[in-house]
């Protein structure tokens, strides 16, 4: 998964075609790009054919009575793409509801589904004690999401964290992109002494 992100760094939403054959297989192709400031500048993705040439295929087992939610769960399990960040669309671009089964949604042998999601990228967090660690985040994650990830990874309570970037404290409700955070950006983690 991380390798795919590095090969296609600029897409805001990753879009993949999912072809279901014999009720079992999906062929996945990505074609969209992320904000240029958010991921590495090692790839020129100004041409759609460059983006498509970096795509990967993957296969999943499905049954006709699987729900769209089940398909998303399979994708999360196999590819690490968060269930809540996935959006599945039919060939006409209509959003598919999680409760629908493939059969009820009109998905048959050879049908195509499109998966959209925001891919992960890496940022770094450093502490005053010179500890530095990597976090995998999404461009639309908020500073609150970053604090929650730090709490999960490092055990540092959310309310004790202050995140500093370019000399200013970041607000919890701001997204990473809105805060000017890019691929490989380094955030400073400052801890409060009180429980406030």
Q: Does residue 148 or residue 46 have the better pLDDT?
A: 148
Report the pLDDT averaged over residues 30-50: 39
CATH architecture for segment(s) 121-191:
Roll (3.10)
Domain residue ranges of the chain, discontinuous segments joined by +: 2-118, 121-191
Distance of alpha carbon 63 from the chain centroid: 26
- For tokens 């089940």, the residue is 70
Q: Dihedral of the CA atoms 91, 96, 102, 103 (nearest 10)? A: -80
Low-confidence winner among 78-82, 92-96, 172-176 (lowest mean pLDDT)? 78-82
Alpha-carbon distance 8 to 133, whole Å? 23
Alpha-carbon distance 38 to 14, whole Å? 14
| pLDDT value of position 186 | 97
| pLDDT value of position 5 | 35
Give the C-alpha distances (Å, rounded to integers) separating 51 from 17, 55, 128, 129, 159: 14, 7, 40, 41, 41
CATH of span 2-118: 3.10.20.90
2: which 2 tokens?
Answer: 């991380």
- Asked whether the domain spanning 121-191 has the same topology as the one spanning 2-118, the reply is yes
Average pLDDT score over the chain: 72
């Amino acid at each position: 998964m991380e390798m795919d992100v590095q090969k296609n760094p600029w897409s805001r939403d990753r879009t993949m075609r999912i072809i279901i054959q014999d009720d079992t297989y999906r062929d996945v192709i990505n074609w969209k790009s992320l904000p240029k400031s958010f991921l590495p500048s090692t790839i020129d993705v100004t041409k759609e054919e460059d983006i498509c040439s970096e795509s990967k295929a993957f296969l999943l087992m499905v049954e006709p009575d699987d729900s769209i939610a089940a398909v998303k769960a399979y994708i999360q399990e196999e590819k690490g793409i968060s269930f809540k960040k996935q959006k599945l669309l039919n060939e006409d671009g209509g959003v598919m509801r999680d409760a629908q089964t493939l059969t009820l949604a009109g998905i048959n042998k050879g049908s195509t589904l499109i998966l959209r999601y925001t891919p992960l990228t890496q940022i770094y967090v450093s502490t005053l004690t010179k500890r530095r660690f990597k976090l995998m985040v999404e461009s639309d994650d908020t500073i609150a999401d970053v604090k929650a990830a730090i709490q999960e990874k490092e055990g540092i309570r959310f309310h004790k964290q202050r995140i500093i970037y370019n000399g200013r404290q970041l607000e919890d409700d701001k997204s990473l992109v809105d805060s000017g955070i890019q691929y490989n950006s380094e955030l400073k983690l400052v801890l409060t002494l009180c429980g406030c």
